[in-house]
Amino acid sequence: MITIRSLREAKGLTQARLAELAQTSQPQIRRLEAGERQLTKDWAMRLAPHLDISPSELMFGGQAYDPPLPSGPPAGGRSHDITSAAALDRTPPYKEHKENKYTQNPEFGVADDGILQSNNEQNDLQSRHQPSNARLGSELPELRVSIPVYGQAVGGVDGEFVMNGDRLEDVFAPPSLSSVVGAYAVYVAGESMEPRYFDGEIVFVNPVKRVRRGDFVVAQVKTQEHGPTLAYVKRFLRWNAEELVLSQYNPEKELRFAASQVVSVHLVVMGGAV
For residue 54, tell me if it sits in a domain: yes
Where a domain ends, among 14, 31, 60?
60
Domain count, the chain: 2
Specify the amino acid at residue 47: L
44 plus 155 within the same structural domain: no
Q: Tens digit of pLDDT for each residue in 130-179?
A: 666 666 555 555 556 888 888 775 667 788 888 877 788 888 888 888 88
Residue 261 CB partners (closer than 8 Å, separation 6+)? 221, 222, 223, 244
Task: Provide the mean pLDDT of the chain.
Answer: 75
168 plus 266 within the same structural domain: yes
Please tell me whether the overall predicted TM-score, pTM, comes out greater than 0.75 for this model. Answer: no
| Residue 55 preceded by cis peptide, ω within 30 | no
Q: Give the 3-state secondary structure of residue 206.
A: strand
CATH code, domain with 179? 2.10.109.10
For residue 161, tell me if it sits in a domain: yes
| DSSP state for residue 62 in the 8-state scheme | T
Tell me the residue length of the chain.
274
Where a domain ends, among 14, 38, 60?
60
Question: Is 196 or 65 the better-scoring residue by pLDDT?
Answer: 196
CATH code, domain with 19? 1.10.260.40
Domain of residue 32: give its range.
Answer: 4-60
pLDDT at 178: 83
For residue 196, tell me if it sits in a domain: yes
150 plus 258 within the same structural domain: yes
Alpha carbon of 18 to those of 3, 24, 34, 91: distances in Å? 14, 8, 15, 59
pLDDT at 137: 57
Alpha carbon of 134 to those of 110, 111, 117, 145: distances in Å? 11, 12, 9, 31
Where a domain ends, among 41, 60, 79?
60
249 plus 153 within the same structural domain: yes
264 plus 156 within the same structural domain: yes
261 plus 155 within the same structural domain: yes
| Mean pLDDT, range 88-110, rounded to an integer | 44
For residue 231, tell me if it sits in a domain: yes
For residue 110, tell me if it sits in a domain: no
Question: Is 145 or 243 the better-scoring residue by pLDDT?
Answer: 243
For residue 182, tell me if it sits in a domain: yes
For residue 78, tell me if it sits in a domain: no
For residue 113, tell me if it sits in a domain: no
| Mean pLDDT, range 194-210, rounded to an integer | 89
| Residue 141 preceded by cis peptide, ω within 30 | no
| DSSP state for residue 175 in the 8-state scheme | G
Q: Give the 3-state secondary structure of residue 257.
A: strand
Tell me what percent of the residues of the chain surpass a pLDDT of 90: 25
| Mean pLDDT, range 108-132, rounded to an integer | 52
Residue 61 CB partners (closer than 8 Å, separation 6+)? 1, 2
Q: Does residue 78 surpass a pLDDT of 80?
A: no
- The answer to which of 111-115, 127-131, 241-245 has the lowest mean pLDDT is 111-115
